[in-house]
């Protein structure tokens, strides 16, 4: 035997799961929505996505190399690409390049790397960047091009988002994605396909998306029964705006969501609750991003409060 | 004009009321404390290392004031100088103590101690210690994962990548004893610094029988007791196949060093006397 | 299909030696018997250098109640009492015996004849088991007679036989069931009689359909013994998990032991050893050992005398492969990485696993991404990511409050971690430290 023996404690085998594998599954799950956005918004969507991904990857590499002087390559875990796509999903397809780059810098530089990189950030980078841009560039961030302008980018004709008057929107177009909106959020159908991919590949568990969607459905349903004219139907609430995108891809972000099933259900419930509150009673037509960010801040508390069911300690019903 | 007046009066009144509240509270809830505790705490190094055995410098100051005598109380960081100051404040006499330094009693460098296995677990000596005897055949020697380095609050221990052993910077070392506690193999010992920093040390803690030790390490102590016989001051004891030099009794005559067949006994900080390799200083 | 309720993983089974007949190993030239082969006090040597011993001669007495005697597996002369590196990686005292011939003690019944009748009283059975030095053969090596002596006030309701063999690679128990089913069933009924219960279960994972079928067929004659097929899930062989899976009861946290829910768990190998000890008067000195590994030419199940160096078994299975990176005593999930191949086979050595260089390298450690997969995999409902951090930072008090002492060290957390973090390493460190603190506290009381 030529080589020295290795010594370590058990276990001596590994399941073969890896960070990059999980991230790649997330990317695969995002593909349907991404392709739909290319189909719906044409050239603009391609440009926004490409710039967002490229700048996220660049900032991650540059910060690692020049500021942190870290030799380890963190690009191979694909998390910067995921952030890039998610950021693009949250932007309108006619957004000027410099705004996208500022958003990417904020997402990677401020929200992610200052806390120590992947795994240490408190808030979802893409979402925090979206909110940052929304507050900094409120006009540009809320003018969404109409669907079907294949060759248009900055010159695309815009229209009001269906969220401004959700009750009047056509439900089928909301479900399929034939409406204006951010790149990735328009097609509920494509996002649901993504959810199936994530669940089948065991990348995420059902707890967060299901609890968010169920809460939104139930609460908006109650409000709709109480105020049938002012409040849209629960179906509109489920399919409209960033709800699906948030519930499936944003709230389920590993790093910024709770660690236990119980905690995840609570987290999902609170997000759904806040979203409906902001949508129905708040000044913003869309509340998903705020709801998730607010709940991100509560995750450490939820982790402390919601312990998994220990062996031999039956849950008291 | 009246707006300004109202503002001034309102703010002034608020300030007065709050000041009164603060005054009452500070008098009513004042904590009685021996003023000497604060004075003692002031002369302490404020490293809060816990080397004295008390929770931080404030705790130590409190203990000094309450104890009534400074016997057994020692700030390892500040050393004798600080203890004298403390004694002055309290009107007590400080017990004399030799300055000490942490000594890593293992000389199993990569050269002396052939690596027979590769440790692949979490980087922690304690975990490596529980995994197996380590990367070498020696079950007593340094594991090289640097628990002592992590424990040191004074940046006084560094791993030498060439030897794979930790090295103590005698200047920075305050003898707080954190590394002694951190080492799962009890290799590090606090020893007298010695005159001009000179000291004689058995750089080995291996208790295996001679042949086993010799197989594992070129410079391991085999407990042959040659040093014990040659020592004129009875400073050396042999127990469990291992020699130990009592630093209180040792007069630094260096006879044992010459006698040791394994070169386990090392003289530190002595001027070179022969073209003999004295490279194994632990500082 | 039954299984335990919380967590669990399913590692690649890799049962390379499945279906290989149990073959007797050749005798070693020198057999080495570490005095500490079990949980509890080390045994005390009762032979001296130069003594002649036979196969089955007692060479070390139990060193206390929680301890077990050791018997020579060879005939010959005691060469020395010295130290040997055992599975812990450290030198431990051991008896060395030079092998001369193969002469057995006369009291041992060497016939193959199956005896099912036994008229002994429960106390006599326990005494015979104790006198045969039997310990749990699954790997934990807890002295069997202690388990069969319930503490005052506790009442056993059933005996559960662990024939799960949930560790990947290992096939020793599987093969034993295929070749000695009747003897095992007699052993189980002896164990049931010893603790005075009328119900016995044998839990077998359903990746061994042949063993389930055979045991069912043979168990038809024993109406009190039920064969329970279980869904394949690691760590089903853990005592607490097995009880949960078979009778649906969860053993409370330590210091409670399985008897608290009325269960006595024994390994299937132990049941066989009990049969041999009680019926055939044969003390525990040999066992079936799986020798396996992907690069090994001929993975096999070998009936091995204790004290045989592992290198001999590896030789018998086709020789040490060039690219061996790790030698593991036991299975890959809970076994110990060995310092060299000269470690002797002991009572708890269920397998010798050779891993190739590529297999044995741990992946590069990354930041914890808080994916919670370890939380989902933990069969005890703990939070390994948190416990590992607490271990790393030395917050023992919090670790204790987070129930670290209930960890069974199954390794599901490290196995499942996508960031390749050595979670269990740190959890073990914390568990050992907290255990020490608790012992110290109890001493003061």
Per residue in B138-195, pLDDT (tens digit) is: 999 999 999 999 999 889 999 999 888 999 998 888 888 889 999 999 999 999 888 8
Q: Please judge whether C403 and A1 are an interchain contact, meaning their C-beta atoms are less than 8 angstroms apart.
A: no
For domain A20-304, the question of CATH label 2.20.25 is answered with: no
Show the DSSP H helices in C11-92 as ranges. Answer: none
High-pLDDT (> 70) share of chain B, %: 94
Instruction: Say which DSSP state A122 is in.
Output: S
At residue B274, the pLDDT reads 62
pLDDT tens column, B98-138: 788 999 999 988 889 988 899 989 999 999 999 988 888 89
Based on its alpha-carbon atoms, the radius of gyration of chain A, rounded to whole angstroms, reads: 20
Instruction: For residue C425, give the nearest of B121, B139, B212 by CB distance.
Output: B121
Q: Please judge whether B118 and A5 are an interchain contact, meaning their C-beta atoms are less than 8 angstroms apart.
A: yes
Q: Which of A42, A139, A135, A128 minimizes the C-alpha distance to A90? A: A128
**pTM confidence score:** 0.88
At residue C261, the pLDDT reads 92
pLDDT at B249 over 70: yes
pLDDT at A317 over 60: no
Neighbours of A109 (CB within 10 A): 18
Helices C122-131, C181-194: axis angle to 10 degrees equals: 120
Instruction: For residue C422, give the nearest of B117, B122, B139 by CB distance.
Output: B122
At residue B47, the pLDDT reads 82
Q: Does C318 touch chain B (CB under 8 A)?
A: no
Calculate the average pLDDT of chain A.
Answer: 90
**Residue C345 is encoded by which pair of tokens?**
């086979």
Determine what percent of chain A falls in helix, strand and coil, rounding each to the nearest 5: 60, 0, 35
pLDDT-derived band at A315, boundaries 50, 70, 90: very low
Instruction: Pick B96 or B260 by higher pLDDT.
Output: B260
pLDDT tens column, C282-309: 999 999 999 999 999 999 999 999 999 9
Q: Please judge whether C89 and B131 are an interchain contact, meaning their C-beta atoms are less than 8 angstroms apart.
A: yes
CATH value of B100-268 in 3.30.70.20, 3.40.50.300, 3.30.230.10, 3.40.50.720: 3.30.70.20
pLDDT-derived band at A250, boundaries 50, 70, 90: very high
* Cα–Cα distance for residue pair A214/A208, rounded to 1 Å: 10
pLDDT at B13 over 50: yes
**Minimum mean pLDDT among A68-82, A196-210, C176-190: which range?**
A68-82
Residues A259, A261, A264, A269, Cα dihedral to 10°: -160
At residue B61, the pLDDT reads 86
Exposed/middle/buried for A300, CB within 10 Å: 0-12, 13-18, 19+? exposed
* Cα–Cα distance for residue pair C161/C243, rounded to 1 Å: 10
pLDDT tens column, A252-310: 999 999 999 999 999 999 999 999 999 988 888 788 999 999 999 999 999 999 999 89
Q: Does A5 touch chain B (CB under 8 A)?
A: yes
Q: Which helix (H) or strand (E) holds A295?
A: helix A288-305
Q: Does A135 touch chain C (CB under 8 A)?
A: no
Over residues C180-205, the mean pLDDT reads 94
pLDDT at C202 over 90: yes
The C-alpha of B166 sits at a distance from chain A's nearest C-alpha, in angstroms, of: 22
Instruction: Say which DSSP state C244 is in.
Output: H
pLDDT at B278 over 70: no
Instruction: For residue C369, give the nearest of A254, A307, A309 by CB distance.
Output: A254
High-pLDDT (> 70) share of chain A, %: 98
Instruction: For residue A254, give the nearest of C371, C379, C414 by CB distance.
Output: C371
Neighbours of B29 (CB within 10 A): 7
Chain A residue numbers touching C417 (CB-CB < 8 A):
14, 17
Q: How far apart are the first and last CA of chain C?
A: 47
Q: Which of C187, C191, C268, C181 minimizes the C-alpha distance to C218? A: C181
* Cα–Cα distance for residue pair B89/B98, rounded to 1 Å: 22
* Cα–Cα distance for residue pair B213/B187, rounded to 1 Å: 16
Subunits in contact with chain A (3 or more CB pairs closer than 8 Å): B, C
Instruction: For residue C411, give the nearest of A2, A11, A260 by CB distance.
Output: A11
Chain C residue numbers touching B116 (CB-CB < 8 A):
339-340
* Spatial contact of B187 and B217, defined as CB atoms under 8 Å apart: no
The CATH classification number of B35-90 equals 1.10.15
- Give CATH superfamily name and number for C122-280: NADH-ubiquinone oxidoreductase 51kDa subunit (3.40.50.11540)
Q: Please judge whether A9 and C320 are an interchain contact, meaning their C-beta atoms are less than 8 angstroms apart.
A: no
**Residue C420 is encoded by which pair of tokens?**
């390749």
At residue A34, the pLDDT reads 94
Q: In the sheet where C70-71 sits, what is the strand order?
A: C44-45, C58-61, C70-71
* Cα–Cα distance for residue pair A271/A208, rounded to 1 Å: 9
At residue C333, the pLDDT reads 94
B-C CB pairs within 8 A amount to 46
At residue B280, the pLDDT reads 53
pLDDT at C17 over 80: yes
* Cα–Cα distance for residue pair C185/C182, rounded to 1 Å: 5
pLDDT tens column, C115-156: 888 888 999 999 999 999 999 998 788 999 999 988 888 889
SS3 B142: coil
* Cα–Cα distance for residue pair A257/A267, rounded to 1 Å: 8
Ranges of CATH 3.40.50.11540 domains, chain C: 122-280
Show the DSSP H helices in C100-153 as ranges. Answer: 122-131, 144-147
The C-alpha of C422 sits at a distance from chain B's nearest C-alpha, in angstroms, of: 6
Instruction: For residue B133, give the nearest of C89, C360, C428 by CB distance.
Output: C89
pLDDT tens column, A194-216: 999 999 999 999 999 999 999 99
Residues 194-223 of A with CB under 8 A from C: 205
pLDDT-derived band at B95, boundaries 50, 70, 90: low
pLDDT at A2 over 70: no
pLDDT tens column, C320-334: 998 899 999 999 999
* Cis omega (within 30 of 0) for bond into A11: yes
Chain A residue numbers touching C260 (CB-CB < 8 A):
none
Chain C residue numbers touching B139 (CB-CB < 8 A):
89-91
Using CA coordinates, name the residue in chain C closest to A309.
Answer: C381
pLDDT tens column, C255-286: 888 998 999 999 999 999 999 999 999 999 99
For domain C27-108+283-357, the question of CATH label 3.10.20.600 is answered with: yes
Over residues A126-146, the mean pLDDT reads 90
pLDDT tens column, C389-433: 999 999 999 999 999 999 999 999 999 999 999 999 999 999 999
Q: Does A1 touch chain C (CB under 8 A)?
A: yes
pLDDT at A316 over 60: no
**Residue C76 is encoded by which pair of tokens?**
């010959």
């Amino acid at each position: 035997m030529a080589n020295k023996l290795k010594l370590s404690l058990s276990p001596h085998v590994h399941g073969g799961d890896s960070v990059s594998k999980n991230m790649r599954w997330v990317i695969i799950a995002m593909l349907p929505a991404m392709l739909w956005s290319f189909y719906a918004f044409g050239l603009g969507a391609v440009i926004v996505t490409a710039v967002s991904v490229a700048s996220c990857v660049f900032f991650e590499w540059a910060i690692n190399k020049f500021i942190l002087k870290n030799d380890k390559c963190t690009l191979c875990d694909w998390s910067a690409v995921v952030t890039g796509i998610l950021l693009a999903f949250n932007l309108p397809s006619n957004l000027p390049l410099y705004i996208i780059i500022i958003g990417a810098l904020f997402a990677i530089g401020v929200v992610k790397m200052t806390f120590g990189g992947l795994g240490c950030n408190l808030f979802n980078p893409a979402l925090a960047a979206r909110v940052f841009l929304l507050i900094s560039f409120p006009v540009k961030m809320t003018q969404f091009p109409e669907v079907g302008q294949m060759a248009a980018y900055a010159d695309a004709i815009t229209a009001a988002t269906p969220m401004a008057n959700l009750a009047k929107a056509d439900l089928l177009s909301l479900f399929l994605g034939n409406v204006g909106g951010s790149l990735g959020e328009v097609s509920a159908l494509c996002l649901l396909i993504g959810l199936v991919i994530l669940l089948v590949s065991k990348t995420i568990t059902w707890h967060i998306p299901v609890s968010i969607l169920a809460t939104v459905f139930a609460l908006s349903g109650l409000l709709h029964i109480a105020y049938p004219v002012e409040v849209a139907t629960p179906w509109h609430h489920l399919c409209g705006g960033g709800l699906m995108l948030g519930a499936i891809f944003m709230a389920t972000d590993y790093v910024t969501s709770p660690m236990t099933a119980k905690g995840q259900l609570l987290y999902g419930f609170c997000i759904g609750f806040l979203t409906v509150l902001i949508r129905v009673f708040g000044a913003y037509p869309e509340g998903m991003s705020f709801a998730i960010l607010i709940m991100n801040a509560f995750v450490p508390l939820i982790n402390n409060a919601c312990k998994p069911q220990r062996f031999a300690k039956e849950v008291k019903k | 004009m009246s707006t300004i007046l109202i503002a001034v009066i309102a703010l002034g009144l608020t300030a007065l009321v709050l000041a009164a509240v603060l005054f009452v509270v500070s008098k009513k809830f004042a904590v009685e404390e021996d003023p000497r505790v604060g004075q003692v705490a002031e002369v302490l190094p404020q490293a809060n290392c816990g080397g004295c055995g008390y929770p931080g410098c404030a705790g130590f100051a409190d203990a000094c004031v309450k104890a009534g005598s400074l016997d057994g109380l020692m700030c390892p960081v500040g050393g004798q100088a600080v203890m004298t100051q403390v004694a002055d404040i309290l009107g007590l006499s400080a017990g004399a103590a030799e300055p000490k330094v942490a000594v890593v009693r293992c000389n199993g460098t990569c050269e002396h101690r052939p690596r027979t296995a590769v440790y692949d677990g979490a980087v922690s000596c304690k975990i490596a210690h529980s995994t197996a005897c380590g990367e070498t055949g020696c079950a007593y020697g340094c594991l090289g994962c640097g628990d002592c380095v992590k424990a040191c609050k004074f940046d006084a221990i560094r791993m030498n990548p060439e030897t794979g052993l930790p090295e103590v910077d005698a200047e920075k070392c305050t003898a707080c004893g954190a590394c002694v506690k951190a080492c799962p193999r009890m290799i590090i010992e606090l020893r007298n610094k010695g005159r001009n920093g000179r000291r004689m040390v058995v750089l080995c803690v291996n208790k295996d029988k001679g042949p086993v030790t010799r197989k594992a390490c070129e410079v391991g102590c085999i407990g042959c007791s040659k040093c014990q016989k040659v020592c004129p001051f009875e400073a050396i004891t042999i127990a469990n196949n291992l020699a130990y030099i009592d630093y209180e009794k040792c007069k630094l005559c260096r006879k044992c060093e010459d006698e040791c067949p394994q070169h386990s006994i090392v003289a530190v900080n002595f001027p070179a006397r022969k073209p003999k390799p004295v490279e194994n200083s632990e500082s | 299909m039954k299984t335990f309720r919380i967590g669990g993983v399913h590692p690649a089974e890799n049962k390379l030696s499945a279906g290989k007949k149990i073959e007797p190993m050749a005798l070693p030239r020198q057999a080495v018997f570490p005095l500490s082969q079990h949980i509890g006090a080390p045994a005390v040597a009762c032979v001296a250098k130069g003594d002649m011993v036979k196969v089955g001669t007692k060479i070390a007495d139990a060193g206390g109640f929680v301890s077990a005697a050791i018997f020579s597996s060879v005939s010959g002369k005691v060469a020395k009492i010295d130290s040997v590196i055992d599975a812990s990686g450290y030198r431990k005292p051991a008896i060395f015996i030079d092998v001369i011939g193969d002469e057995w003690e006369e009291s041992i019944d060497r016939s193959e004849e199956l005896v099912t009748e036994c008229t002994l009283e429960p106390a006599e059975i326990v005494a015979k088991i104790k006198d045969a030095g039997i310990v749990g053969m699954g790997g934990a090596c807890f002295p069997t007679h202690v388990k069969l002596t319930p503490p005052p006030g506790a009442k056993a309701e059933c005996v559960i036989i662990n024939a799960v063999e949930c560790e990947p690679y290992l096939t020793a128990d599987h093969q034993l069931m295929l070749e000695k089913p009747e003897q095992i069933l007699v052993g189980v009924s002896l164990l049931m009689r010893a603790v005075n219960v009328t119900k016995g279960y044998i839990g077998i994972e359903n990746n061994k359909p042949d063993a389930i079928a055979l045991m069912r067929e043979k168990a038809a004659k024993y109406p009190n013994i039920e064969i329970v097929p279980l869904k394949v899930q690691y760590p089903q062989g853990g005592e607490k998990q097995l009880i949960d899976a078979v009778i649906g009861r969860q053993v409370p946290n330590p210091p409670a032991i399985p008897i608290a829910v009325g269960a006595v768990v024994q390994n299937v190998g132990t049941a066989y050893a009990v049969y041999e000890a009680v019926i055939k008067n044969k003390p525990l000195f040999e066992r079936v050992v799986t020798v396996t590994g992907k690069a090994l030419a001929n993975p096999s199940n070998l009936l091995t005398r204790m004290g045989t160096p592992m290198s001999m078994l590896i030789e018998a299975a086709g020789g040490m492969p060039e690219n061996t990176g790790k030698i593991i005593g036991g299975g890959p999930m809970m076994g110990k990485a060995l310092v060299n191949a000269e470690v002797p086979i002991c009572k708890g050595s269920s397998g010798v696993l050779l891993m190739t260089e590529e297999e044995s390298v741990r992946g590069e450690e990354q930041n914890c991404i808080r994916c919670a997969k370890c939380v989902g995999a933990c069969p005890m409902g703990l939070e390994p990511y948190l416990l590992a951090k607490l271990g790393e930072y030395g917050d023992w008090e919090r670790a204790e409050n987070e129930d670290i002492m209930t960890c069974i060290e199954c390794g599901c957390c490290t196995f499942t971690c996508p960031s390749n973090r050595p979670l269990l390493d740190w959890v073990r460190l914390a568990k050992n430290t907290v255990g020490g603190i608790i012992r110290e506290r109890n001493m003061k009381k």
